[in-house]
Amino acid sequence: MWPWSKEPRANADNWVCYQGMKEALAQPEDIEDLVDAPPRRSARKRGRATPERPSRRQEIFEHAILLMREKGFVGTSVQDLADRLEFSKANFYYHIKSKEEMLYRISFETLQKKLQRIKTIVNSDLPHPQRMRAMVDCFVHLIVDHTAVISVYFEEKRHLAPVHLRRVTKLEREIFDAFADFYREGVDKGYFRDVDPAVAVLGILGMCFWMTKWYQPKGRLTAKMISDQFNAILSEGYLLAK
């Protein structure tokens, strides 16, 4: 069974996709500020406005993800990141309060954007089979485009502070429930096989997220090829009609 309960557990299975999905439903969107992100500093002393530069924060996130994938969360220091970015630790702390906060921001943003994307697909007017294909394609493309981010999330979520862990686990649950409710509705309307929605959704997600273990960016399989074949297996099965 899915390891979630009302109180999140540190060893719960992790699954997520990263922000920036451009292909799903062909509806690109800007990255929104975090709901609970700290307020920006208003201005420097000479009245000069100093808004946070999204490009700088994004650069920090991208390098942090690569370092954490190489060394793990515990093995990655702020000094390592500052050296990689060629700026001071003080510069890092201007943008990010702590290493844990950075992991939380990446995790929260990831889940929040994925929940919005899932809701967009589920609430569209497309027939259920097309919406299911869109969701599988969405997950596959995000894993292909952001393999490092997903791998780090899988491995390092346990290092989040309890309050942050509860927040991201709540979003995980919302994503899972939205997917399961969609599958249940498809069963009721005669589109999907009548199996336990939790089992069906966990099977689909497991198939997609296991890609982090075997997908090779320079390999022979493209995102489209993987998505098409996953959808063929899911919709048609693997046995040929005799």
Given its phi and psi angles, is residue 60 left (phi above 0), alpha (psi -120 to 50 degrees) or beta? alpha
Mean pLDDT in residue range 220-237: 93
Q: Which of 28-37, 62-71, 72-81, 224-233 has the highest mean pLDDT?
A: 224-233
Q: Please state, rounded to an integer, the average pLDDT across all residues of the chain.
A: 77
pLDDT recorded at residue 25: 30
* Backbone dihedral region for residue 162 (phi beyond 0: left; psi -120 to 50: alpha; all else: beta): alpha
Q: With 50 as the cut, is the pLDDT of residue 178 above it?
A: yes
List pLDDT tens digits, range 1-50.
344 433 333 333 333 333 333 333 333 333 233 223 333 444 444 555 45
Model pLDDT, residue 195: 94
Residue 234 scores a pLDDT above 70: yes
Mean pLDDT (whole number) for 45-57:
55
How many percent of the chain have pLDDT more than 90? 36
Give the model's pLDDT for residue 186: 96
Q: Which of 40-49, 66-75, 207-216 has the lowest mean pLDDT?
A: 40-49
* CA 205 – CA 215 distance, rounded (Å): 15
Name the residue with higher pLDDT: 192 or 12. 192
Q: What is the CATH number of domain 24-37+99-236?
A: 1.10.357.10
Q: What is the 3-state secondary structure (H, E, C) of 126-182?
A: CCHHHHHHHHHHHHHHHHHHCHHHHHHHHHHHHHCCHHHHHHHHHHHHHHHHHHHHH
The pLDDT value given to residue 21 = 33
Domain spans in the chain, listed from the N-terminal domain onward: 24-37+99-236
Q: What pLDDT shows up at residue 115?
A: 87
Instruction: State mean pLDDT over 198-223.
Output: 92
pTM, to two decimals? 0.70
Summarised one tens digit per residue, pLDDT across range 101-153 is: 888 888 888 788 888 989 999 999 999 999 999 999 989 988 888 788 888 88
Closest CA to 236 of 137, 132, 135: 132
42-65 average pLDDT score: 62
Residue 18 pLDDT: 32
Q: Hey, which bits of the chain come out as E strands?
A: none
